[in-house]
Amino acid sequence: MPPDAPPRVLIVDDDATIREGLAEVFERSGFAAACAPNAAAMDKILAERGADLVILDLMMPGEDGLSAARRLAGRGWPPVIMLSALGDDADRIVGLEVGADDYMAKPCNPRELVARARAVLRRAREIDPVAARAETMRFAGFRLDLARRELTDPDGVLVSLSTGEFRLLRAFVERPQRVLTREQLLDLAFANDTDVFDRAVDVQVSRLRKKLERAGEGELIRTVRGEGYLFTAKPTPG
């Protein structure tokens, strides 16, 4: 994909109105959109033209979205956002566990979907696909389940994270031992919140630090004066 070409999004949904409506929203936001009514058509388009991102409906006639997402995740490309009429936490976890990069419940704010699509694309460009697909990451005795958004401490106790804390920790874990500026972190962890300021990043970092304190081996998130923050551990998938 040439760097200045518009990102190509493939919308897979059995409902024509939704397909076309989403295509319109994405086109208006500077994407090149294609549509497919089912998984078979999706495969055909991916084989012929390819795509940078797939928006995948969960419940479709024929092969369902979960199975299609699992296949795409096995291939490693392109990234997938599941768009589903099932909105429970449990459904979201199932979607993320089969390898979807993000999960949104219908009805959603179309602009938020576009923002998430951008975040997923950015992450997919930046992160090694293996790490991006890893379900869990380990560091300093902690275990971070990326699908369930659960952090388990070295004692085996689950330490719940808020949505912001989880996104922040995932940004750190995926970019370890690298200084991340407040702007970068805002971008990575608060993609959909336009009214979050630098100060909020500091607040989230200090909360996250408190929850990671139990590692007992020094600071996991180090402040780099004047620059930003650095995640000191080296996480491993699994």
Partner 1 sequence: MSAKRSRGLPIAAHLALLVALVFATAFAVTLTIILALPPRPPDVMRSDQIVSDFVTGYRAAAETGRAPRSTRMRWAVRTGPPPVASLSAAAPVKAEIAQRLNLPPDKVALTGDFVRRDTLVFRVQRGHAEHIRQMEVHVATHITREKTAGAPDAPTPPAPPSPPVVVGAPPEPPVVFAPAPPNVTLLSGFTLAAELPNGRWLVMRQGRNDEEWGWILRAALIVGATLLALTALALWFARRLARPIQTFAAAVQAVGVDPKSGAVAEEGPRELRNAAGAVNAMAARLRALVADRTQTLATVAHDMRTPLMRLRLAAERSPPDQRERIAKEIAEMEALIASFIAFARDDPTSEKRVRLDLVALLQSVADDQAEAGRDVRLSSAESRLVIVGQPLGLKRLFTNLIDNAVKYGARADVALRRDGAEAVIDILDGGPGVPAGKREEVFKPFVRLHEHHGDGVSGAGLGLTAARSIARAHGGDVTIEETQQGGLVRVRLPIEEPIPAAR
Which of 3, 48, 157, 238 touches partner 1 by CB under 8 A? 157
Site for partner 1 in 191-230 (CB under 8 A): 193, 207, 211
Query: Are the C-beta atoms of residues 113 and 164 closer than 8 Å to each other?
Result: no
Residue 61 contacts partner 1 per CB under 8 A: no
Which of 63, 135, 150, 187 touches partner 1 by CB under 8 A? 150
Please identify, using beta-carbon distances, which residue of 90 and 179 lies nearer to partner 1: 90
Q: Which amino acid is at 72?
A: L
- Beta strand 158-160 with 221-224 is unpaired
Which of 67, 163, 206, 236 touches partner 1 by CB under 8 A? 163
Residue 160 contacts partner 1 per CB under 8 A: yes
Query: Are the C-beta atoms of residues 69 and 102 closer than 8 Å to each other?
Result: no
Residue tagged 């997938």 (tokens):
80
Which of 164, 180, 205, 220 touches partner 1 by CB under 8 A? 164
Query: Are the C-beta atoms of residues 163 and 171 closer than 8 Å to each other?
Result: no
How many residues sit in the footprint of partner 1 (CB under 8 A)?
Answer: 39
What would the DSSP string read from start to end of 142-208? EEEETTTTEEE-TTS-EEE--HHHHHHHHHHHHSTTSEEEHHHHHHHH-TT-TT--HHHHHHHHHHH
Site for partner 1 in 99-138 (CB under 8 A): 105-110
Which residues, in sequence order, are bridge partners of residue 138? Answer: 143, 236
Which of 11, 12, 18, 144 touches partner 1 by CB under 8 A? 18
What would the DSSP string read from start to end of 35-75? EESSHHHHHHHHHHT--SEEEEESS-SSS-HHHHHHHHHHH
Smallest gap from residue 150 Cβ to partner 1 (A): 7
Smallest gap from residue 211 Cβ to partner 1 (A): 6
Residue 17 contacts partner 1 per CB under 8 A: yes
Which of 155, 218, 226, 238 touches partner 1 by CB under 8 A? 155
Q: How far apart are CA 16 and CA 35, in angstroms?
A: 9
Q: Kindly list the residues in this chain that would bind partner 1 in the complex (CB under 8 A).
A: 15, 17-18, 21-22, 24-25, 59, 85-90, 105-110, 141, 150, 152-165, 193, 207, 211
